[in-house]
Amino acid sequence: MATMSEQSSKPQPGRVMPVGLAQSPRPTLPRLGPPPLQPTERKGHGQAERPRLASRRPALHALAEAAIRVLAFSSIAAVILIFVFIAKEAWPLFHDSAIWKEVTLAKMWFAQQWPGYDAPEHVWQPVSEIPKYAVWPLVVGTLKVSLIAMLVAVPLAVGAAVFVSQYAGRRLREIIKPTVELLAGVPSVVLGFFALMVMATWLQHALGLDSRLNALVAGVALSFAIIPVVFTVSEEAFGAVPRSYVEASTALGAARWQTIVRVVIPAAGPGVAAGIALGLGRAVGETMIVLMASGNAAILSASPADSVRTISATIAAELAEVVFGGAHYTVLFFLGVLLFGFTLATNLLGEFAIGRMRRRLGGVA
């Protein structure tokens, strides 16, 4: 639009357009311009008659638009770079024979007969005379803590979401929703601190547990971080159920609870499932809470009263003290690849579920 901008090189006082950015060097838009030209015409026309000063503008425009287009790919670049650079540091585990002297994939996944042990065992003991890198205690620990967190978080979050979307009046809703947002804003290190300093003591006294820090404490604290995720997504899903569904059900004589249980919840099901998948991804990847509250002992057991060490906490606790490029370093990046892959899978699953719900409800809404 070079032809019109040159007419407007003086700012016009009485313009009707909304205020532009104050620091913009460009002249203000004119009140009236020539009729818009066809894009093909515009180019030829402009190039023929444009004086020098204004001819820089299209170049600037093109530059700015190119910058926007390039920056728009920053998130794709970020995801790819994250994967590439973590995988790159883990790669020696797959081909470097110097690393294989200390650890191999087989040694990580299968029980080994270590000197001093009666039977083959899975042991995570990377800093010892004979480094042992069995990942099962970490994987099981991660799943155990996440399972406890989900068992606490899902009923509370979905229940609260049903209450807020179906029963609560406006005032109650305006108390509950901001409070959950408040919880979402609490940094995870604060939740970890609370679990470590306060909740661990309470739970130990209440249940008479041996170790103060254990999978239960970490799992319950972790659930506080998951509740906002599951709540927000589920509440949105319940809100997206078309009114006509509820009206049809009521017209058929169903009670309110019957409508909720038989119509609203099934219709919003994929959305709730998406919330649960996203929550699980968060639970598995969350670091500071489990690092502070789980006790960090890599014990392979099913009991929630035992201390556990999760994958994320292992990386956080050990990476600062390893030799760059060494076996331990490589294994920790391999654990990072595992985490990345798992959360990627849960995210895609969640997205798939949300898309499915949109398609299903899309026909009616």
Three-point CA angle 339, 155, 208, nearest 5°:
80
Minimum Å distance from CB 337 to another protein? 9
Q: Which of residues 79-108 bind another protein (CB under 8 A)?
A: 79, 81-82, 85-86, 88-89
Binding mask 172-211 for another protein (x = CB under 8 A): x--xx-xxxxxx-xxxxxxxxxx-xxx-------------
CB atoms within 10 A of CB 138: 25
Residue 102: both structure tokens together? 């200390």
CA-based nearest residue to 160, from 183, 188, 138: 183
Q: 108 near 135, Cβ under 8 Å?
A: yes
Minimum Å distance from CB 159 to another protein? 3
């699980």: which residue's tokens?
A: 280
């001819």: which residue's tokens?
A: 55
CA-based nearest residue to 246, from 165, 315, 324, 312: 165
Residue 365: both structure tokens together? 């809404």
Among 92, 281, 295, 304, binds another protein (CB under 8 A): 281
Q: Which of residues 284-343 bind another protein (CB under 8 A)?
A: 284-288, 291-292, 312, 315-316, 319-320, 324, 332-333, 336, 339-340, 343
**Distance separating the N- and C-terminal Cα atoms of the chain:** 41
Q: Which stretch binds another protein (CB under 8 A): 102-110, 130-138, 252-260, 299-307?
A: 252-260
Q: Nearer Cβ to another protein, position 67 or 207?
A: 67
Residue 125: both structure tokens together? 């003991």
Q: Nearer Cβ to another protein, position 348 or 365?
A: 348
Q: Nearer Cβ to another protein, position 76 or 106?
A: 76
Among 33, 44, 120, 242, binds another protein (CB under 8 A): 33
Q: Which of residues 221-240 bind another protein (CB under 8 A)?
A: 224, 227, 231
Q: Nearer Cβ to another protein, position 100 or 352?
A: 352
List, in order, residues 6 or more apart from 268 with CB less than 8 Å away: 234, 237, 238, 240, 241, 357
The span from the CA of 220 to the CA of 290, in Å, is 10
CA-based nearest residue to 266, from 278, 282, 281, 254: 254
Q: What is the 3-state secondary structure (H, E, C) of 311-357?
A: HHHHHHHHHHHCCCCCHHHHHHHHHHHHHHHHHHHHHHHHHHHHHHH
Minimum Å distance from CB 110 to another protein? 25
Q: Which of residues 133-162 bind another protein (CB under 8 A)?
A: 155-160, 162
Minimum Å distance from CB 140 to another protein? 18
Applying CB under 8 A, the site for another protein has a residue count of 110
Q: Nearer Cβ to another protein, position 111 or 147?
A: 147
Q: Nearer Cβ to another protein, position 130 or 207?
A: 207
Q: Nearer Cβ to another protein, position 76 or 323?
A: 76
CA-based nearest residue to 138, from 330, 303, 299: 299
Minimum Å distance from CB 67 to another protein? 7
Among 54, 135, 140, 164, binds another protein (CB under 8 A): 164
Minimum Å distance from CB 243 to another protein? 19
Minimum Å distance from CB 81 to another protein? 6
Minimum Å distance from CB 21 to another protein? 6
The span from the CA of 153 to the CA of 282, in Å, is 12
Residue 241: both structure tokens together? 């159920």
Q: Nearer Cβ to another protein, position 201 or 303?
A: 201
